A = this chain, B = another copy of it.
């Protein structure tokens, strides 16, 4: 998939795996509608309309509005996990892997900010089962970053008094990029990624 930079700033869309085409169009329409108006103010009729389809055509693919949000949230979290897992498991020192994890995760949140906002801010709109599934995915996301920090502490590269708290702060810093990032701002996703990688290495006391 093209990154935001490769496509000149268009948002990264992690929906290639969604088939058939109609199901994918509906999912992308739902992301737009949820981001603009919020989950509760959006109807399945709105979503079908944005995708140029009838409500009846929507129900072939998704039984409820919640099913759309659940699907969006699962795909978003699986992509986040894949990005961090790739960085965590590559060759290299903990310092290199943490810098890679942070810069990739930031670029993704800048490039896919509309999706990321829906996924982050509408978590409470999911029903209990869907929410439990997503929270389990979030624990795995967390564990990838914590693993890199623990590796760096073990090798003596990092000095971190509170590994869990620092992991939380690192992820939080990256996730909040989706809130404030704008293509009209002075920095590209790559530049924010590089800045944040440097700040996070300072947080873990790397290179001292």
Contacts and interface: CB of A to CB of B under 8 A. Distances in A.
Contacts of A173: 169, 172-173, 176
A205 B202 CA distance: 7
A168 B180 CA distance: 9
B38 A195 contact: no
Interface of A is mostly: helix
A161 B199 CA distance: 10
Given A38-B40, A169-B196, A172-B176, 7 more contacts: A38-B38, A121-B121, A165-B192, A168-B180, A173-B173, A175-B179, A202-B205
Interface of A: 37-41, 117, 120-121, 161-162, 165-166, 168-169, 172-173, 175-177, 179-180, 187, 192, 195-196, 198-199, 202-203, 205
